[in-house]
Structure 1
């Protein structure tokens, strides 16, 4: 990364100067060069300024992965705005809640969101300007909101703007996934994102010839880190929005000669269980990165076996950390499967007790991180900010330990610890054992309220070849017998539910909060759901 790249949009600008015709994006087979994307971002930035955007204004961004999203992301930053990437799977009420929470003055959208935007903007008194492909289709558009066609930017100058910004200025408000509760807006400065980008480049070793297959949504902090790291080195982002057809996505990976593939655990579960991934040569693939939740040791072993000679990076992070906190060196992975590795450059991660004292190796505490990549706090939520940020750093909510070699291990989320009688049980530990059963595709374990025990253990599983009627699948009883051999009685699920799929957000994370809500609405236990 160039030493003069202080702000996030400098990454695009510098690569546009040095490699103007090199492809920054490839979407649906069409390349889009750095100079093309930079010029388009300049034009949109000027349009936003022309319609009243001033430094620090929050700008909602709602678009699927594609050229529109990337142009808008960098345009908002160039104009001095604070980008607020929005979940493309959210309903109108959820979008309205996030836009109201950050008092967004602008909203930029891509195609296909007319209905949900109409619902979202119905009651947003702070929203002044809607930039959309066809704002007239937002009907009714409240009278106080100005509708601006997105293609109006075509008439603006492509010369860069001169907006006075420093790296301490906010670049983005990223709303957390809400996989464990209500989404909160993590405030990330240019410094937060840039220092994390430098650290990631420090261990990945990316260069201008690298091409990553982008299947993760750009609004997701992990997905956005792929965009920024490749912009930093003049690399290429190959956008693939058809991962529901995994073999089609793999065709793109091969045809576009991708050197990198990044995903969350469910990404690799799908590739290994429901595609011909392991049978492909993938001759250009150099590395794989995995983050977005712990991947089971069994799935990790299968990934290693499927990709001999490739570098597999297991990583750990959080939205509040601008993406990344730790990484596991691929050379160490075979002997430390299950570990999240060591802190990335310029980050410190410690295992602390509740009083802030550090635990010795082998003892469990909470993972607490500090570094210039850590968010300032949650937007408009001082109470929640004070709960996770203090003089010790950012309290991640993850319980973990450090081994004698200095490698970190996640035991489980604090919210995922199940209190059954006198026992505190890690849901992750049970999930990892379930995923060792060869027929299981994915699993989630939660605690369900119980009058006497406090909580009981419930497991939700999806088998690799899902049956037409999940409730009658005989593999459920076989799995229960397997768990009897592998887990002590107090760690065995009281109930195993077979599903055809598990609820996930668009980035592929399992939404345990949805499972908990579903469990609470279940009035009685079904007698045909065996325990382990």
Structure 2
């Protein structure tokens, strides 16, 4: 069955059950399905054909969800767009994906108008009142037709093009069909024990594959309830968990960190939480422990995957957290994971190799990029570009991206190991390790740290703290104090921006 078909099925099974609440607007599963169908017929009347691309440049909202499922029901291919991108970056995605129709929030209309020039975009639809006469309002596209569109959508038809985070260079579009995305959701249902009675809080951006595929789509397939927040705010997040009795919470590490900084965070009733998931970026063990204390549960899951896998990869379950905190975990359901050397052979425990994956949720290809696809998908395996270790029990730990590994004085330094130590320091809020050119050592290990509010970091004291826990060559030679770290929408620190900025400072 296609993804839209599960919504139609649940509209019959759970007609009066609360499906979505967003900014005071509520919808039962029957109303959810009817809203989607109204929009699906509107897309057909616009001339959108099966296989054509529909881009979404929107913050989290009920409209985002309706648009996604409307496109899915008519066999269109959804292209979620990071709303933080510039018009030049958006232009590349629209052009490369051959997008025909765009939905975007009013606040991004000017960006989209600039981005759509010299592309195949025929229509921009605005959530709200358009500023440009060329664009049409969302409500004008909705029809009165609430029946399911009569389009034969197969599970082998394409559903999404997910553009990679683009931490370096131009992003590539990972192509997925309905079956692959269903398998992504199925993996979460089995691996995390997600069920029909879940109450999800969606605060991580829905344009990102983790929140969209792991939890929104799996939750709709199950018939769960979805509380949607447009933006992340730590206090409002804690309030929502308390008010809506959220059972399942997923966030990037920075979100957990910000919630822990709320002075009265411990006063909120978070007892409804059954489990917490974290991912998209490494989460230091100290931060995991503090988050467990805040939520008063040890039911934490480390989801360590990548966009090209749906996202999917390895998972550290609550049992694994007891003895293997800080590790990535083992292969998730329907997935195989290995760590290999340059010849593609499995490494021995204690060595470092490349993390590779095989499974039923792996992308079909990079859209219209055969050479890049060939380099990444080899002999049925997805080569991730992540460096990792594997222990005697088969637990895999990611240690760095290949491009982020630092070679200082001939020694390999993996940034995550040093960052975890920095996070143990009581005055450090956030930290990133990068390598900068050094005449003596080739590369110097450098730390960029953000102090907690009201705290001052003494550089010499922080270096001394690191020396107690790290070999001398791993201790940061230089420490830079910043007010914040640059991140992409999935929470990953943009280390190339830090390297560029600090190299300019040195120059």
Please give the secondary structure, in 1, of the residue aligned with 2:43: helix
* Aligned residues of 2:310 and 2:361 also touching (Cα < 8 A): yes
Cα drift, residue 305 of structure 1 = 2.8
Q: 1:116 deviation in Å?
A: 1.2
Q: Tell me the TM-score normalized by structure 2.
A: 0.95
Q: Choose from 12, 16, 20 the match for 1:17.
A: 12
- Look up the match of 1:249: 237
1:399 maps to 2:399: no
1:247/1:275 contact within 8 Å kept: no
User: Residues 133 and 405 of structure 1: is their aligned pair in 2 closer, same or farther, counting only changes over 3 Å?
Assistant: closer
- CA distance in 2 between counterparts of 1:138 and 1:520 reads 42
1:278-314 CA-partner distances (Å, limit 9, x unpaired): 4433121111011112211121222233333441111
Aligned to 1:58: 53
Compared CA separation, residues 292 and 250, structure 1 to 2 (3 A): same
- Which residue matches 2:96? 101
Q: Which of these residues, 440, 445, 462, is aligned with residue 479 of structure 1? A: 462
2:378 aligned to 378, 390, 394, which one? 390
Note the aligned Cα RMSD (angstroms).
Answer: 1.9
> Pick from 188, 192, 201: which aligns with 2:189?
201
Residue number in structure 1 paired with 2:223:
234
Equivalent residue for 1:527? none
- CA shift for structure 1 position 121: 1.9
Q: CA deviation at 1:425?
A: 1.0
TM-score by length of 1: 0.91
Q: How does 1:54-203 map to 2 (within 5 A)?
A: 54-124=49-119, 126-133=120-127, 137-138=131-132, 141=134, 147-203=135-191
Q: Per the alignment, do residues 466 and 444 of structure 1 end up closer, same or farther by CA in structure 2, a change over 3 Å counting?
A: farther
SS at match of 1:327: strand
Q: Deviating runs (4+, > 4 A) in structure 1?
A: none
For residues 317-360 of structure 1, give each alpha carbon's deviation from its aligned partner in whole angstroms, at most 9, with x where no partner exists. Answer: 11101112222221231211012221111110011112111123
Deviation at 1:115, TM superposition (A): 1.7
Say which SS state the counterpart of residue 431 (structure 2) adopts: strand
In structure 2, the CA distance between the partners of 1:189 and 1:477, relative to structure 1 (3 Å rule), is same
Answer yes or no: is the 8 Å Cα contact 2:275–2:297 preserved in 1: no
Residue pair 1:443, 1:462 contacting (<8 A) in 2 also: yes
Check the 8 A contact 2:54/2:99 in 1, yes or no: yes
Deviation, structure 1 residue 451: 4.3
Contact 2:242 2:268 in 1 (8 A): no
What per-residue deviation string (whole Å, max 9, x for no partner) do you get for residues 408-453 of structure 1? 2112221210122311210111111111111111111111233453
> What does residue 357 of structure 1 align with?
345
Aligned residue number for residue 327 of structure 2: 339
Q: Does the aligned pair in 1 maintain the 2:74–2:153 contact within 8 Å?
A: no
**Corresponding residue number in structure 2 for 1:212:** 200
Matched, 1:294 2:282: yes
**Which digits, 9 at most, give the CA deviation of each residue in 1:243-292, with x for residues without a partner?**
23x11221111011111110111111112234533443312111101111
- Partners of 1:274 and 1:175 lie apart in 2 by 33
* Number of residue pairs matched by the alignment: 506
The answer to whether the Cα contact below 8 Å between 1:289 and 1:312 also exists between their aligned partners in 2 is yes
Q: Distance in 2 between matches of 1:231 and 1:400?
A: 34
Matches of 1:494 and 1:363, distance apart in 2: 26
Aligned to 1:49: 44
User: Does the aligned pair in 1 maintain the 2:313–2:357 contact within 8 Å?
Assistant: yes
1:430 to 414, 418, 434: 418
TM-superposed deviation, 1:393 = 0.5
Query: Structure 1's 286 and 474: CA in aligned 2 closer, same or farther, altered over 3 A?
Result: closer
- Range with bigger deviation, 321-330 or 302-311: 302-311
Q: CA offsets per residue over residues 447-496 of structure 1, 9 Å max, x none?
A: 123345332222111112256xxxxx443332122123222221121211
Looking at structure 1, the residues matched to 140 and 271 of structure 2 have their Cα atoms a distance apart, in angstroms, of: 43
- The answer as to whether partners of 2:185 and 2:215 remain within 8 angstroms in 1 is no
Q: Map Cα deviations across residues 49-95 of structure 1 (whole Å, 9 max, x no partner).
A: 11221111111111111111000001111111110001111121111
Deviation at 1:135, TM superposition (A): 7.3
Deviations 1:499-524 (A, max 9, x none): 11111123332222221221232243
Q: CA deviation at 1:134?
A: 5.8
How far is the alpha carbon of 1:390 from its aligned partner?
A: 0.6
Report matched runs for 1:26-41 at 5 Å: 26-41=21-36
Q: Distance in 2 between matches of 1:96 and 1:479?
A: 44
In terms of mean alpha carbon deviation, does 354-363 or 189-198 score higher?
354-363
Shift of 1:364: 1.9
2: CA distance, partners of 1:202 / 1:177:
27
| Partner SS, residue 204 of structure 2 | coil
Contact 2:56 2:79 in 1 (8 A): yes
Task: Give the whole-Å Cα distance in 1 for the aligned partners of 2:61 and 2:440.
Answer: 52
For the residue of structure 2 that corresponds to 1:486, the secondary structure is coil
- Determine the C-alpha separation between the residues in 2 that align with 1:10 and 1:370: 27
Q: d(CA) in 1 for partners of 2:453 and 2:208?
A: 29
